[in-house]
Amino acid sequence: MAAELTLRDVSLQFGGIKVLQDVGFVVEPGQIFGLVGPNGAGKTSLFNCISGHYKPTSGTVRIDDAEVQGARPATLAGHGLARTFQHPALQLHETVLENVLLGGHSRLPGSPLGWALRTPGTRRAEKAMRTEALDLLERNGLAWAAHLPADELSHGLHKGVELCRALLMKPKLLLLDEPAAGLPHAEVETLIATVRRLRAEDDVTVVIVEHHMGLIAALTDRVVVLDHGRTLMEGSAAEAQSDPRVIEAYIGKDAADDAA
């Protein structure tokens, strides 16, 4: 079942530098939610606070009814959170299938001793996980690459592999960090179709950090715009694109005045 994500007054500070200041919003179960803003707005830092890579200085992060700020990524996986990164972190000399299987470790049953002894139960679980990983690759058009080393694939295909790895965790909440970065137009269209299918078939809440406003407009139910670590506005993608404050944040006040 898709998860609800709630942020309340999330702030992040490194020394005297305020990276995030009192950011808050609610992502309802099953929504596709966009997090946008100019470079340096704090988008990735906020993602890091949600996904356990940073601990907020103050404020709360909730997945459904559980407060999870400061929890480790492995703990957050137990709450149904999975994440991709702007630059996919793959094991380039391992096969595509082996990279995807890394996403299933948190779901595998049994004890460390059982896995060391390769008991019948652990072997059955591993076989089922491999079948599931191959099915994900098939659904995402990557079955042909399953047994190739990851370093033989393009940057765009690396993003597809990382998405399959995240999906093998069976997430209720999926964070996508700039999934369209570096992709040609045709692959962006494929990505849009993939995310739409995920919402329809997998019952997952999706939060996307992205600069590609065409993708944001095509996919999202709502967006939050960040600027200098603060919430600038919340609304639809269309409202964000026409908001003078957002235009000014992206292109500067003088240019915004000229455009007006």
Of residues 118 and 66, which shows the higher confidence score? Answer: 66
Indicate whether 257 pLDDT > 70.
Answer: no
pLDDT band at 188 (very low <50, low <70, confident <90, very high): confident
CB burial string 110-149: b at 16+ within 10 A, e below = eeeebbeeeeeebeebbeebbebbbebbebbebeebbeeb
Average pLDDT, the chain: 88
Token readout for 17 is 């530098």
Question: 184 vs 28, which has greater pLDDT?
Answer: 28
- Going 234 to 239 to 244 to 250, the CA torsion angle's sign is positive
In this predicted structure, the answer to whether residue 130 has a pLDDT above a threshold of 70 is yes
106-126 pLDDT tens trace: 766 555 555 555 666 677 778
- Residue 133, pLDDT > 90, answer yes
Asked if the model's pLDDT at residue 256 lies above 60, the reply is no
pTM beyond 0.75, yes or no: yes
DSSP assignment of 217-241? HHH-SEEEEEETTEEEEEE-HHHHH
Closest CA to 98 of 159, 38, 150, 153: 150
* Gyration radius (Cα) of the chain, Å: 19
Dihedral angle of Cα 250, 10, 33, 205, to the nearest 10 degrees = 160
Max CA separation in the chain (angstroms): 71
Task: Evaluate whether 111 touches 201 at the Cβ level (below 8 Å).
Answer: no
Q: What does the pLDDT look like over 197-242, one tens digit per residue?
A: 888 888 899 999 988 888 999 999 999 999 999 999 999 999 998 9
Q: Is 130 helix (H, G, I), strand (E, B) or coil?
A: helix
Residue scoring higher pLDDT (22 or 125): 22
Domains of the chain: 5-80+171-259 (3.40.50.300)
* pLDDT band at residue 39 under the 50/70/90 scheme: confident
